[in-house]
Structure 1
Amino acid sequence: MFGTEEDMMTASQAAHAATGLQMPPALPLPVLHVREDADVGYWSVTTLDDSGRLADRSPVRVLGWTAHQPLQVSMSGSAGWIVRADGGPLAVGARGHVRLPVDLRRRLGLTCGDRVLVTTRPGQGALVVYPLPIVARLLESCEASVGPGLQHA
């Protein structure tokens, strides 16, 4: 039995206690706030693993989704949309991962190791997945419409 948290000491705490020095105070952890008025509340670039899971679980946490939450997946344009849906055919994994189904990955041209942009749409309770080549083309078209900008040497 290990005892309570107060009974346990880290090696660093034990070393400080042995020398008679006091431990410095712990640094405060930042609190992450999500703006409730923003429809695109959170952005993340993440990788697909070999089973189609999104490696980053933070968008799921931002949306407040929990393990085994039923989900529905659809495609709109060049993006995959994932929404919470009672009786949906998919679910958030036990560890909080979202797995893109094979048919959606094929339609988006995604394979293992590909990186995607994931955005949340809190107002719609949705997670949206964009393949990075689509994002790159969109950015290139924006740059072309703005003009040459800075000249490269």
Structure 2
Amino acid sequence: MTAESIIPALVHPVRDTVASIARSGEISGLPLPRLATLPHERPMLYGMATLDRGGRFGDRRMMRALGWRSDEHLDVALVRDVVLIRPDEEGLFRVPPGLLAVVPAPVRHWCALSPGDRVLLVADLERGVLAVHTTTTLDRLVLAHHARVFGGDDA
């Protein structure tokens, strides 16, 4: 048996018909699946930032999208292992000049954040909140997700 005698048996006879229809322009390609949408009315923005010595970081695009202004009062809270920053007239912290945000020293110590550490920023535009995720949190989330994707136990 030669390759020439095996290949026609493996190729479906409809293939030539589909190829001729595609060449004629009657179809433009395979139908695309409908993608799931987030449950938010407005999308969230994502970014990475590096903390400086004072715990400051910036992403002007996010700050503008959140509608924050320099000198605006902020509340900073640690919920589980996520730093949540939101406008609050009674907040103890303020948006520094240059549309930066700050992770206060006690929160940095609690999260073991140091100058030069990278963080994931998530601006939830519906809630007006900036969530700051540490790389430790990202490792845990990604490892758990990969365990589900690849099978096996959570890491």
TM-score of the superposition, structure 1-length normalised?
0.69
1:141 matched to 2:144: yes
- Alignment-derived partner of residue 76 in structure 2: 73
* Secondary structure class of the residue paired with 1:123: coil
Task: Select the residue among 79, 85, 107 that pairs with 1:82.
Answer: 85
- Alignment-derived partner of residue 105 in structure 2: 102
State the alpha-carbon separation in 2 of the partners of residues 127 and 118 from structure 1. 7
Q: RMSD value over aligned CA atoms?
A: 1.5
State the alpha-carbon separation in 1 of the partners of residues 104 and 111 from structure 2. 11
- Alignment-derived partner of residue 37 in structure 1: 41
Q: Which runs of 4+ in 1 moved over 3 A?
A: none
State the alpha-carbon separation in 2 of the partners of residues 56 and 121 from structure 1. 14
State the alpha-carbon separation in 2 of the partners of residues 107 and 59 from structure 1. 25
- Alignment-derived partner of residue 13 in structure 1: none
Contact persistence 1:49–1:55 (CA under 8 A): no
Q: Name which one, 1 or 2, has greater alpha-carbon Rg.
A: 2
Count of matched residue positions in the alignment of Structure 1 and Structure 2: 112
1:106-145 equivalences under 5 Å are 106-145=109-148
Considering fraction of residues, name the structure with more helix.
2
Contact persistence 1:52–1:99 (CA under 8 A): yes
**Deviation per residue, 1:60-83 (Å, 9 max, x gap):** 112010111100010111100001
* Secondary structure class of the residue paired with 1:143: helix
State the alpha-carbon separation in 1 of the partners of residues 69 and 63 from structure 2. 8
Contact persistence 2:48–2:120 (CA under 8 A): yes
* Secondary structure class of the residue paired with 1:113: coil
Shift of 1:134: 1.2
- Alignment-derived partner of residue 52 in structure 2: 49
Calculate percent identity across the aligned residue pairs. 28
1:58 matched to 2:61: yes
Shift of 1:122: 1.4
Shift of 1:59: 1.8
Contact persistence 2:58–2:99 (CA under 8 A): no
* Secondary structure class of the residue paired with 1:124: coil
Contact persistence 2:75–2:91 (CA under 8 A): yes
* Secondary structure class of the residue paired with 1:120: strand
Q: What one-letter code is carried by the residue in structure 1 that aligns with 2:136?
A: P
**Which consecutive residues of structure 1, in runs of 5 or more, have no partner in the other structure?**
1-35, 149-153
- Alignment-derived partner of residue 31 in structure 1: none
State the alpha-carbon separation in 2 of the partners of residues 83 and 119 from structure 1. 12
Contact persistence 1:49–1:113 (CA under 8 A): yes
